[in-house]
Amino acid sequence: MNHTTDILTKVDAITLGYTAKAFQAVADAHAVELRLMLVAYFALFGIAVFQGMVPLTTREIAKHVLKAILVFSIATNWGNFTVFFYNTFTSGPDKLMSALIGGSAPSAQLGVVFDKGMAAASQIFENAGKWDLGQMLVAFIVMVSTVLLTAYALFLLVLSKMGLAILLSLGPVFIALALWPATKGLFQAWLNYVINYALIPALTLAFLGLIISILEGSVLTIEQVGDRPLIYHTLPYLLTGSVTILLLGQVPRLASSLGSGVALSTEGAFQRLLRSPGQSKAYVVSAAALGGKLYGATKPAYHKAGTFYRKLRTFGETRPEGNQENK
């Protein structure tokens, strides 16, 4: 019986149900805000077209309409979110590891490590005499080492699955923030953490897949000794287990580094999908100028809009093409 596989299967079922319910609850609770963001996006796009900041072409209209529909449909619909995000970050690493280890279940690797270690400990204990405390001590050391190694790897897997479930359940809020240049940094940070937690199980199982052959050799050495192995004969197994624990300790740091790199590399592609260069700055100037017109201002309103825009430059945005103050 593979106890680790049973635990991971239960965790997968629990996290799936939690993510689905929490995602829908968040989407329903912020349905009004999400619709207002969609309306505001199209309103500012219309202002930009009215002011001549964005050309009124079929390509521009289709790009912005498809962009808004894509973001809104993913942020509010669990089915679409499952296809684009949930399956990608939960099933994707498992499929990758299945291909690397020959098609077997990735979680079974941890069960193999546990079963082999416990089998060796059981063999030593069964061969020990009733009062053979030395052999019992050897069996106890092997058993504790196996439990510690398996428990730490299992901790990383469960942590990543639960952390990923919590992050994905907040998807409606962060995906909607990707529409706006001022808030896309929050979406990028969320995506970075999602990728980070998705990589942890893949890297953990990859390390176990590489180290399992060494552990098998160490267990075989213990079995070949016979009925009375000594602590000396268990040293290869203990050293391999210690090295494995140290390697697994580097998994979160490695996943964080890789996650940041992947998130940054995908930022450009996602940014090109979500906005065109200089569009956000044109929206700010256009909205301020139109507000001045509605209150009866003419040229001074544009000067005020330009002053307001220069203050917003502290957020790190580049200067838009053309000087609105000279109009």
Cα separation, 34 vs 40, in Å, equals 10
Instruction: Give the separation between CA 87 and CA 129, rounded to whole angstroms.
Output: 53
pLDDT in tens, 236-274: 888 888 888 999 999 988 888 887 655 444 444 444 444
Distance from C-alpha of 169 to C-alpha of 117, rounded to nearest angstrom: 37
Flag whether pLDDT at 12 surpasses 70: yes
Domain ranges across the chain = 3-276, 280-326
pLDDT band with cut points at 50, 70 and 90 for residue 184: confident
Tell me which of 97 and 90 has the higher pLDDT: 90
Q: For residue 62, how many other CB atoms are within 10 A of its CB?
A: 10
What percent of the chain stands above pLDDT 70?
73
Least confident of 23-27, 128-132, 310-314: 310-314
Determine the Cα–Cα distance for residues 196 and 263; give it in Å rounded to an integer: 9
Where do runs of H (alpha helix) occur along the chain? 3-29, 31-50, 58-76, 78-81, 87-90, 92-100, 108-127, 133-169, 171-176, 184-225, 231-249, 251-274, 279-294, 299-312
Euclidean distance between the first and final Cα of the chain, in Å? 78
What is the C-alpha separation between 55 and 67, in angstroms, rounded? 17
Confidence of residue 309 (pLDDT cuts 50, 70, 90): very low
Please give the average per-residue pLDDT across 140-156, as a whole number. Answer: 91
Q: What's residue 74's pLDDT?
A: 92
Is the model's pLDDT at 96 over the cut of 70? yes
List the one residue out of 169, 186, 155, 208 whose CA is nearest residue 267.
186
Counting other chains too, the contacts that 88-92 makes at CB distance below 8 Å and 24 or more residues apart are 89/164, 89/168, 89/194, 89/195, 89/197, 89/198, 90/12, 90/15, 90/16, 90/161, 90/164, 90/168, 90/198, 92/198
pLDDT-derived band of residue 15, with 50, 70 and 90 as boundaries?
Answer: very high
Asked whether the beta carbons of 248 and 202 are under 8 A apart, the reply is: no
Mean pLDDT check: name the lowest of 58-62, 115-119, 203-207: 58-62
Cα separation, 92 vs 100, in Å, equals 13
Looking at residue 103, its pLDDT comes to 57
Q: Which of 206, 213, 302, 220 is nearest to 255 (CA)?
A: 206
How many residues in total does the chain contain? Answer: 327
